[in-house]
């Protein structure tokens, strides 16, 4: 959790058992390389140096990591998955649903950066295991059986 | 870092382990009364984990578990208890007075039975700790779900992740006859709440 990981083909990046956290993947077809952000909370209050803990600063951290690997943000295949509402009755009680806020924050951020998503599987009330295959850029999402 | 660290000394960690032990014993007694059978208990010591690393040491993150989340205190703190699916079904059998192994899946009837069990066991657990510390621990309503352990864990942790960077983790294994019911307990407490518990323990 709260991490950015990046690598090249033939590696596979896996985030297992994702609940309300949001996973953002970015992939370069040309280089056969990419990365994954696993963020927990929507917005960085601005003081936390743990950038990858938050969706907004985490997306910046993901793109900056990939840029240093020779992958500018434009031209990358960007997808997102996760951000479920695992305890619906709790969200009702607290009147806050973090999964949903993670999704909204990511959309805002992508809009600001001028990035179009190539795919997404977000929300719902189930957990996910999310796999990015760097050999072909496939993002696979598996739910609990 | 926005959430504070708990800054717990080895001695204080022993005190917290002792509190967890007191709580688990009370939960075992409650379980024995409901089951009408002897319950044996094993409790390892408590662990302090960084919020971001909790999932790494949590075993198979895709394992299907039943979890119950209960808010505690007035502050932004909670307790999360997870049971492997089999253990959860055994608890349901106990509550419904069925033969162990009767429940095969978490049906609607089983879900409300599981909620009830979670409430009773966590209630007994916290009440014993409160009693020992001569204080009160306010407890919210239970919220339960069945899914991948990792998914339920991260969803619970984000609830308190703005208030703390560490959580306390412990297990409690209840044996009824030959069956073991394994529970993993996460104390998602703000550092100030942990401090106040430790301060109260000092006065005992």
Q: Does B162 reside within a domain?
A: yes
Asked if A144 lies within 8 A of B62 by C-beta distance, the reply is yes
Q: Does B69 reside within a domain?
A: yes
Asked if A18 lies within 8 A of B55 by C-beta distance, the reply is no
Q: Does B26 reside within a domain?
A: yes
Q: Would you say the C-alpha torsion B159, A87, B60, B28 has a positive or negative sign? A: positive
Q: Does B2 reside within a domain?
A: no
Digit-by-digit pLDDT tens for chain A (145 residues) are: 889 999 999 999 999 999 999 999 999 999 999 999 999 999 999 888 889 999 999 999 999 999 999 999 989 999 999 999 999 999 999 899 999 999 999 999 999 999 999 999 999 999 999 999 999 999 999 997 6
Of B62, B147, B158, the CB nearest to A41: B158
Of B150, B157, B158, the CB nearest to A127: B150
B125-142 residue pLDDT tens: 999 999 999 999 999 999
Strand A77-82 versus strand A117-122 pairing type: parallel
* CA–CA dist B69, A111 (Å, integer): 35
Entry pTM? 0.92
Q: How far is A95 from chain B (nearest CA, A)?
A: 12
Query: Are A104 and A42 contacting, i.e. CB atoms less than 8 angstroms apart?
Result: yes
CATH of the domain at B106: 3.40.1550.10
| CA angle (B52, B53, B56) in 5-degree steps | 135
* CA–CA dist B178, B101 (Å, integer): 12
pLDDT score for B4: 60
Domain, as residue range, for B69? 10-202
Where do the domains of chain A lie? 3-138
B68-89 residue pLDDT tens: 999 998 667 999 999 999 999 9
Which residues in chain B touch residue A19, judged by CB atoms under 8 angstroms apart? 147-148, 150-155
Does residue B97 surpass a pLDDT of 90?
Answer: no
**Measured between alpha carbons, how far is residue B79 from residues B33, B86, B157, B172 in Å?**
23, 21, 10, 14
CATH class of A3-138: alpha beta
Domain count along chain B:
1
* CA–CA dist A144, A131 (Å, integer): 14
Does any CB of chain B come closer than 8 Å to the CB of residue A49?
Answer: yes
**Measured between alpha carbons, how far is residue B132 from residues B120, B138, B169, B204 in Å?**
18, 15, 20, 8
A16, two tokens: 């297992």
**Measured between alpha carbons, how far is residue A106 from residues A21, A24, A56, A99, A134 in Å?**
12, 9, 7, 11, 22
**Measured between alpha carbons, how far is residue B179 from residues A93, B86, B99 in Å?**
35, 10, 12
Which residues in chain A touch residue B159, judged by CB atoms under 8 angstroms apart? 90, 94, 98
A102, two tokens: 């993670």
Does any CB of chain B come closer than 8 Å to the CB of residue A117?
Answer: no
Which residues in chain A touch residue B154, judged by CB atoms under 8 angstroms apart? 1, 17-21, 40
């Amino acid at each position: 959790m709260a991490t950015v990981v990046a690598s090249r083909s033939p590696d596979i990046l896996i985030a297992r058992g994702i609940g309300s956290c949001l996973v953002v993947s970015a992939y370069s077809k040309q280089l056969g390389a990419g990365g994954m952000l696993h963020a927990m909370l929507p917005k960085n209050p601005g003081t936390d140096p743990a950038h990858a803990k938050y969706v907004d600063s985490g997306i910046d951290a993901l793109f900056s990591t990939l840029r240093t690997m020779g992958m500018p943000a434009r031209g990358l295949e960007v997808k997102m998955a996760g951000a479920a509402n695992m305890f619906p009755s709790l969200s009702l009680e607290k009147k806050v649903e973090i999964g949903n806020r993670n999704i909204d924050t990511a959309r805002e951020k992508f809009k600001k950066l001028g990035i179009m998503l190539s795919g997404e599987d977000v929300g719902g009330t189930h957990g996910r295991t999310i796999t990015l295959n760097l050999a072909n850029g496939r993002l696979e999402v598996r739910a609990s059986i | 870092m926005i959430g504070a660290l708990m800054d717990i000394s080895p001695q204080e960690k022993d005190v917290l382990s002792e509190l967890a032990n007191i709580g688990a014993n009370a939960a075992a007694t409650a379980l024995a009364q409901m089951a009408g059978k002897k319950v044996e208990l094993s409790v390892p010591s408590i662990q302090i984990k960084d919020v971001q690393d909790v999932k790494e040491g949590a075993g198979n993150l895709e394992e299907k578990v039943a979890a119950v989340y209960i808010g505690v205190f007035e502050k932004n703190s909670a307790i999360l208890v997870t049971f492997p699916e089999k253990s959860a079904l055994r608890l349901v059998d106990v509550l419904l007075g069925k033969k162990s192994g009767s429940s095969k899946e978490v049906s609607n009837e089983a879900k409300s039975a599981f909620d009830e069990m979670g409430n009773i066991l966590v209630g007994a657990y916290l009440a014993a700790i409160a009693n020992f510390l001569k204080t009160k621990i306010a407890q919210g309503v239970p919220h339960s779900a069945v899914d991948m352990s990792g998914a339920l864990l991260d969803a619970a942790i984000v609830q308190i992740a703005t208030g703390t960077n560490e959580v306390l983790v412990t297990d409690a294994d209840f044996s009824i006859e030959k069956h073991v019911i394994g529970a993993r307990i996460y104390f998602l407490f703000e550092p100030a709440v942990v401090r106040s518990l430790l301060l109260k323990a000092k006065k005992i």
